[in-house]
């Protein structure tokens, strides 16, 4: 179980060169935002921002926005204001930049229609145990198209995440895009939520890699589209679906497998029955296998 107790506020840049960038606000702190603030979040590419445009304060339960350039410098949920209370999901515009405010761990999961079978509960517990035991840096690639709950969790978490789409495509498809998520803390409530709510539901896959998130994103973007024999247009390759990855990796040629892994040490994902599957890279001496399979 996650040991995190205090809740943070999160200011996220929505679009543009800094899309998905998050600034984290501790309880009792104030975040200053502008083109070149003395401290806080700098958005240097927006020439219409003042050096210090606005600030967000967070008590741990409630948040407020205070403009620093007068009443004409800010839009809060579409209304021109100088200051006001912000809530989970509040939209802000300053200069040419859109922001969203989120409060950590705010939206509860939906109540299941029926109790989970005991075997799935056990597989989820085993998956968390395996993922938390990894020594290498942990990431996930999750498919926002699978469930709107995925973006709720990503928005309301402090972990760094990036859409694998970019440009106009990234903007238009933000709600159904695959996202690369960094999970540096093994006691992260986000990791626990992704497993407890999404394991066995084809939300995504987990992987181990020492590369920083930007380089790993660049690597994964190379495989988003593939060519298929007899098909003129290129096709989306949904390798972040555990059903697809579980079929692709064991059958692809060694050269293609090596290219796909790159610097990735291994993948961990759900099997068709919820069992934990681990597939290491070719350079790893461990054989691929199923972990915690139940009879």
For residues 219 and 152, membership in a common domain is answered with yes
Question: pLDDT band at 289, cuts 50/70/90?
Answer: low
pLDDT (mean) for 123-151: 98
The predicted structure's pLDDT at residue 5: 76
Cβ atoms of residues 76 and 86 within 8 Å: yes
**R_g of the chain computed on alpha carbons:** 21
- Looking at every residue in the chain, the average pLDDT score rounds to 92
CA distance 88 to 104: 9
Q: Helix, strand or coil for residue 71?
A: coil
Query: Is residue 93 located within the same domain as residue 135?
Result: no
Instruction: Give whichever of 188-197, 224-233, 279-288 has the largest mean pLDDT.
Output: 188-197
Contacts of 266 (CB under 8 A, 6+ apart): 207, 208, 278, 279, 280, 281, 284, 286
- 42 pLDDT exceeds 90? yes
Would 36 be classed as within a structural domain? yes
pTM summary value? 0.91
Q: Are 13 and 20 in contact (CB under 8 A)?
A: yes
Q: CATH number of the domain that 19 lies in?
A: 2.60.200.20
Which of 39, 68, 103 terminates a domain? The answer is: 103
Q: What is the pLDDT of residues 49-98, one digit of tens each?
A: 999 999 999 999 999 999 998 656 799 999 999 999 999 999 999 999 99
How many percent of the chain have pLDDT more than 70? 91
The predicted structure's pLDDT at residue 231: 64
Q: Are residues 82 and 161 in the same domain?
A: no
pLDDT confidence of residue 30: 98
**Could you tell me how many residues make up the chain?**
295
pLDDT of residue 232: 65
Q: Are residues 161 and 286 in the same domain?
A: yes
Do residues 152 and 38 share a domain?
no
pLDDT of residue 259 exceeding 90, the answer is yes
pLDDT at 292: 47
* Range with top average pLDDT, 14-23, 74-83, 136-145: 136-145
Question: Residue 283: pLDDT band by 50, 70, 90 thresholds?
Answer: low
Instruction: Specify whether 153 is located in the same domain as 196.
Output: yes
State yes or no: pLDDT of 7 exceeds 50. yes
> Could you tell me the pLDDT band of residue 169, with boundaries at 50, 70 and 90?
confident
Q: Could you give the 3-state DSSP secondary structure of residue 196?
A: helix
SS3 string, 70-82, reads CCCCEEECCEECC
Average pLDDT for 256-269? 97
Write out pLDDT tens, residues 183-226: 999 899 999 999 999 999 999 999 999 999 999 999 999 999 88
Element of type H or E holding 79? strand 79-80
**Are 141 and 232 within one domain?**
yes
**Residue 113: pLDDT above 90?**
no
Domain annotation covers residue 108: no
Residue 111 lies in a domain: no
| Range with the poorest average pLDDT among 30-34, 68-72, 164-168, 282-286 | 282-286
Domain count, the chain: 2
**pLDDT > 90 fraction of the chain, expressed in percent and rounded:** 80
Domain of 169 in residue numbering reads as 118-291
pLDDT at residue 282, rounded to an integer: 76
């Amino acid at each position: 179980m996650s040991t995190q107790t205090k809740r943070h506020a999160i200011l996220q840049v929505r679009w543009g060169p800094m899309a998905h960038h998050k600034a984290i606000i501790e309880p009792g702190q104030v975040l200053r935002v502008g083109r070149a603030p003395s401290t806080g979040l700098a958005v240097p590419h927006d020439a219409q921002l003042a050096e210090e445009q606005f600030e967000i304060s967070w008590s741990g339960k409630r948040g407020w926005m205070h403009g620093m350039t007068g009443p004409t410098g800010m839009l809060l949920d579409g209304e021109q204001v100088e200051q006001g209370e912000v809530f989970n999901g509040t939209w802000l515009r300053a200069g040419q930049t859109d922001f969203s405010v989120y409060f950590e761990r705010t939206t509860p999961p939906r109540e299941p229609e029926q109790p989970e079978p005991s075997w799935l509960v056990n597989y989820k517990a085993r998956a968390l145990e395996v993922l938390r035991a990894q020594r290498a840096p942990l990431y996930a690639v999750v498919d926002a198209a699978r469930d709107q709950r995925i973006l709720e969790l990503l928005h309301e978490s402090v972990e760094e995440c990036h859409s694998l789409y970019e440009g106009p495509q990234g903007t238009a498809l933000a709600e159904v895009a695959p996202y690369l998520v960094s999970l540096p803390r093994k006691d992260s409530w986000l990791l626990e939520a992704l497993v407890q709510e999404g394991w066995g539901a084809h939300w995504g896959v987990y992987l181990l890699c020492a590369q920083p998130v930007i380089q790993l994103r660049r690597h994964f973007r190379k495989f988003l589209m593939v060519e298929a024999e007899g098909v003129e247009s290129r096709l989306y390759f949904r390798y972040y679906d555990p059903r697809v990855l579980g079929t692709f990796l064991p059958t692809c040629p060694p050269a293609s497998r090596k290219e796909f892994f790159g610097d990735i040490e291994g993948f961990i994902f759900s099997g068709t029955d919820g069992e934990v599957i681990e597939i290491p890279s070719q350079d790893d001496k461990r054989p691929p296998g199923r972990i915690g399979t139940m009879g």
